[in-house]
Structure 1
Amino acid sequence: MKKIIITFFGVLLLGNMSCTNDLDTDPIVELTLEELLNRDPNAVQGIVSRLYGSFALSGPDGPESSDISDDAGESPFLRGILNLQDFTADGIKNRWGDDGLDQLTTTANWDENNKFFRYLYNRIYYTIPQCNNLLSVLDNVDTEAKDEVIAEVRFIRALAYYYLIDTFGKGVLATEENFGTSAPLPEATRAELYAYVESELLAVIETLPNTNDYGRANKAVGNMLLAKLYINAEVYTGTGKYTEALSAITKVITEGGYTLADSYVSVFSGDNNTSSEIIFPLIADAVTSQSFGNTTYIVNGSSSSETMTLAEYGLTEGWGGHRASKGWYGLYGDLETTTDDRAALFFTEGHSYEMNDYKTWTDGYPSIKFRNTNALSSSSAPTQFSGTDFPLFRLADAYLMFTECAIRTNQNLGEALDYLNQVRVRANATPINTGDLTLDFVLDERARELNLEGHRRTDLIRFGKFTGNTYVWPWKGGVAAGTAIPDTYKLFPIPLQALEANLNLKQNNGY
């Protein structure tokens, strides 16, 4: 890790702040990071951009390259988030079934050999050491706005750790302090990782800029991640932090300067980089940041020429993989009569309402929420890769988080109702009254608004509806009508390769 090949950083020497740079740079020379930054301190900005890109891109040399030894197409970070957060829950199912994907889409037969668990684990522990590497030398480098850069890198690392806490619940605590240590690190518990991420975010949020370039962290982005950590604290540590979550999310709403987009579908279209609602995107570009793991996975994966005209969604190819189930579109009521704009974002022609066989493309409705066409300007020509950015954090989510925390703490209920109804009115859904403002309604509204955005499994766990039989959905537990699954499944198994590489790690209970 001490040696940094120029290819990895791609466009370092261009000093470009964007995450959509040309990554097709041939390796010229191998330098230590210290040597590289001594030659050009401005290269820091390119390195930081590359760290942001690690959440959406597979590698430095186009969609066939990979930063890790895993498959370049299957293993990108965002693809892992979607696989583990959405396919394992109620709203979206995948039909491919290849080597472990069936285990996710049926929430059944999970074990440590599943490659999709390994992919996300490896991506997490790819991003974290890269952050540590940069942090270990930044103190000795003279670069512009160094304190803000350090805060951004610590945020990126905290974001990677957040997904480790949420999905696997344990790991090792690798920081710049132990970077380069040859001995295997000790296992860190979920509570220890939680405390570390909380302390990191509290330490850097005030140093993050009030505004930043698109796709980079500012104070609102930091507070959003802190609120997500706090809202799930009861799951992660056994102690609720809903009051703290409410305080953090209030700062996002009142100080961030974001507003709901007028059009819901514009948030998920090819020109969504202009959206007033997106707080923190993972950037995609059909030419300069091609990846099989960004929104290309969603748009192409949810489309097929078998039943759809691909060009209508800006595509040249469809993979025919993902369809929604009635666990999602059933929440809108009658799709033919509802006024909710979000209910129109399913392709129903030639498809069955019931998902009797999740491996049959025409069982279930494909979601056309994400598309590769523009919403606010003239559409561009269809492309193989998506140019639609992924809204990892957005204001509607913040509004619904505020509402949930207000209900759980029994405060600010008037504001909570207003925020929830702003989300509904934007979608032309009927506003609700105070008597309807319940946690169950919020959970359903989060599904209507946020499904296919990497939140659903976490939401169901937080609301106590993921495991057991309190709530079942199509193909839960490998049964068409759904059945109970064990509490073990609130965490994923630690991948076998990780256990073999570090004997200090122990498998999660039940696997």
Structure 2
Amino acid sequence: MKKFKINILALVSGLFLFTSCTKDLDVTPEDDDLFLSENFFSNPQSYKQGLAGVYGNLSLTGITGAGSSNIQGLDAGTSHYGRCLWYLQNLSTDEVIWSYENDPGVAEIQRNTWTSNNPIVLGMFARGMAQVAFCNEYLRQTTPEKLSGRGVTDSQLLANIEDYRNEVRALRALAYYHLMDMYGKAAFYTENDQIGIAGPEYNRQQLFSFIESDLNAILPALKAPRTNEYGRVDKAFAWMILGKMYLNAEVYIGQNRYADCVTMCNNIIGGGYTLEANYLDNFKADNHTSTEMIFTLQSDGNVTQNYGPTTVMINGQVGSIEQNGTSMGVSSSGWGGALRLRKQFVQKFDGGSFTSDERKTIISGTRPIDITTIADRDQGYVLAKYSNISSTGIPGVNQGFVDTDFPLFRLADVYLMYAECALRGAGNASTSQALTYINDLRERANNGPVANISSGDLTLDFILDERARELHWEGHRRQDLIRFNKYTGGSYNWAWKGNGSNGIALPAHLKVFPIPSSSLSSNPNLSQNIGY
């Protein structure tokens, strides 16, 4: 079994402590004593256990099995942090189709016809707000006043708790970053707010400013890159969030922050990360050993069973015709052909330069490339990128729930971010260095320089396609298409975009998702996004 560096039992137990705060969709802690009791803190280890509970919200939906949910009104399949993130960032784009459109909310996401009542749109918003609530309550319970009142005087424990608090603030920043990106606004709460109140609405500018300020405040105290326990945040995690924000700042706040993005990229690149020698080892059951992972959403087939993104993708990518699940460490039939590739993504790998590209795990066989009927699982090519088998050939401990962590942030993305900023005119980036980074990725994918490009090939259109080739199914595509003005409108269409079999133009308001109707009802300070 894969060893989690942050104790699994503590993670599960810690998540239990946060269950009481999610009795309604406002997900604001209702009672300080119910949320984390003073009795709980009688054990010095409880502070790390509580920290594990905050991390646990990224990997688990409840404590009584994979099907449980600690957010009332939402099931595990539509309220898992990573799964909802993947649905909204990838299923709504040119990369992938889900076969079973009777599953709640799926058809509307992949056909770009969602409304404010979509359960997946609600699931991501509610889970993100739950993460904010968990973080705030942990911070409330670990103030110097609280610690003094409990008689906590051990200097090492106090230092550890201060580290935990900084990590929790970084995790809160992650939640607000995702809410800012996908919804453009959110209810705003910190640990200083009274429990049970309806938080004010913060727009993108306000959220951007808060996240940036809070991360910069804690960065000096976060551990150096690659020095914390696996699965816990460090400076590189904070730099990555900031880098992503700066990369997309023109979308978020109408400002060019590409030079700031380059600064964050250089910080990360200088942090000791190196490209994993084998591209596909980043997506196997032991990918926690990868030298390029900056932060992952953890998965374990026995202890933290959940229907998260890697369990969904590995079981879902098994072909209905191929029955090739055994080669991926799951049952031979997997989920019966749940996931297939849209034609436009497949075509990103057309041409002789991709013949030996390890990133091209596309299986065509006798399948037609076009998906004319979404319910026909034999139409459309399938993918074999993710695996529940380790780099040394050892299958995961469970054929249904996988050991493979979801790669939220990794070094390859940083290389591509740097290259894009160089082409967008960042004065502190060079196109020659950008070309080196791009060819580093292509040499890794081709086991040599056979597919290297020249400076004349390095364009913004190339970068967008290369991001798809390198980062597909990793939760980036929607954000990328929006940044390149390819998501809404009709300049780039893909199969079933806008519910047209060949794709139709999308209205501009679909660049953000609607605020869920349930969230509007629970917090009168929230307003609906324009167009919904």
Question: Normalised by the size of structure 1, how large is the TM-score?
Answer: 0.92
Q: Which residue of 1 aligns with 2:524?
A: 503
Superposition deviation, residue 377 in structure 1: 4.3
Tell me which of 111, 117, 124 is aligned to 1:120.
Answer: 124
Q: Which residue of 2 aligns with 1:196?
A: 210
Q: Which runs of 5+ in 2 are unaligned?
A: 21-32
Q: Which residue of 1 aligns with 2:261?
A: 245
- The aligned amino acid for 2:138 is L
Tell me which of 456, 473, 476 is aligned to 2:494.
Answer: 473
> Cα 1:433–1:173, aligned 2, differ >3 Å: closer, same or farther?
same
Q: Which residue of 1 aligns with 2:81?
A: 77
CA distance in 2, matches of 1:149, 1:445: 37
> Cα 1:178–1:363, aligned 2, differ >3 Å: closer, same or farther?
same
Asked if residue 308 in structure 1 is aligned to residue 323 in structure 2, the reply is yes
Q: Which residue of 1 aligns with 2:513?
A: 492
Q: Which residue of 1 aligns with 2:25?
A: none
After TM superposition, list the pairs within 5 Å mapping 1:20-419 onto structure 2. Answer: 23=12, 33=36, 35-36=38-39, 38-69=41-72, 70-98=74-102, 99-107=104-112, 109-139=113-143, 140-141=146-147, 142=152, 143=157, 144-180=159-195, 182-210=196-224, 211-254=227-270, 256-304=271-319, 306-316=321-331, 318-319=334-335, 320-334=337-351, 338-343=355-360, 345-380=361-396, 383-410=399-426, 411-419=429-437
CA distance in 2, matches of 1:474, 1:152: 41
Superposition deviation, residue 334 in structure 1: 4.5
CA distance in 1, matches of 2:58, 2:108: 24
Q: Which runs of 5+ in 1 are unaligned?
A: 1-14
CA distance in 1, matches of 2:119, 2:137: 27
CA distance in 1, matches of 2:219, 2:15: 37
CA distance in 2, matches of 1:38, 1:395: 38
- The aligned amino acid for 2:399 is T
> Cα 1:414–1:174, aligned 2, differ >3 Å: closer, same or farther?
same
The DSSP-based 3-state class of the residue aligned with 2:51 is helix
> Cα 1:195–1:337, aligned 2, differ >3 Å: closer, same or farther?
closer
Superposition deviation, residue 336 in structure 1: 11
Tell me which of 435, 443, 451 is aligned to 1:425.
Answer: 443
Are 2:15 and 2:52, in contact at CA under 8 Å, matched by a contact in 1? no
CA distance in 1, matches of 2:236, 2:14: 34
Of 265-274 and 379-388, more deviation after overlay is shown by 379-388
Superposition deviation, residue 136 in structure 1: 1.1
Name the count of aligned residue pairs.
493
> Cα 1:352–1:336, aligned 2, differ >3 Å: closer, same or farther?
farther
The Cα offsets for residues 294-329 of structure 1, whole Å up to 9 and x where unpaired, read as 410111122245432321110025222111112212
> Cα 1:38–1:270, aligned 2, differ >3 Å: closer, same or farther?
closer
Are 2:14 and 2:54, in contact at CA under 8 Å, matched by a contact in 1? no
> Cα 1:462–1:251, aligned 2, differ >3 Å: closer, same or farther?
same
The DSSP-based 3-state class of the residue aligned with 1:86 is helix
The Cα offsets for residues 424-452 of structure 1, whole Å up to 9 and x where unpaired, read as 11111611111111111111000000010
The Cα offsets for residues 189-238 of structure 1, whole Å up to 9 and x where unpaired, read as 11111111111111111211012011110111111111011111111111
Q: Percent identity?
A: 37
Of 237-246 and 57-66, more deviation after overlay is shown by 57-66
CA distance in 2, matches of 1:146, 1:21: 16
Are 1:94 and 1:322, in contact at CA under 8 Å, matched by a contact in 2? yes
The Cα offsets for residues 388-447 of structure 1, whole Å up to 9 and x where unpaired, read as 011110010111011111111253111111111101111116111111111111110000
Are 2:302 and 2:397, in contact at CA under 8 Å, matched by a contact in 1? no
CA distance in 1, matches of 2:308, 2:297: 11
CA distance in 1, matches of 2:229, 2:193: 31
CA distance in 2, matches of 1:283, 1:264: 19
> Cα 1:101–1:128, aligned 2, differ >3 Å: closer, same or farther?
same
Are 2:388 and 2:403, in contact at CA under 8 Å, matched by a contact in 1? yes
Are 1:281 and 1:392, in contact at CA under 8 Å, matched by a contact in 2? yes
Q: Which residue of 2 aligns with 1:12?
A: none
Of 151-160 and 312-321, more deviation after overlay is shown by 312-321
Are 1:94 and 1:323, in contact at CA under 8 Å, matched by a contact in 2? yes
> Cα 1:284–1:465, aligned 2, differ >3 Å: closer, same or farther?
same
Q: Which residue of 1 aligns with 2:27?
A: none
Are 2:396 and 2:403, in contact at CA under 8 Å, matched by a contact in 1? no
Question: Normalised by the size of structure 2, how large is the TM-score?
Answer: 0.88
Of 273-282 and 91-100, more deviation after overlay is shown by 91-100
> Cα 1:200–1:22, aligned 2, differ >3 Å: closer, same or farther?
closer
CA distance in 2, matches of 1:289, 1:115: 23
Q: Which residue of 1 aligns with 2:24?
A: none
Are 2:353 and 2:451, in contact at CA under 8 Å, matched by a contact in 1? no
The Cα offsets for residues 19-41 of structure 1, whole Å up to 9 and x where unpaired, read as 57673799899865250454023
Are 1:132 and 1:179, in contact at CA under 8 Å, matched by a contact in 2? no
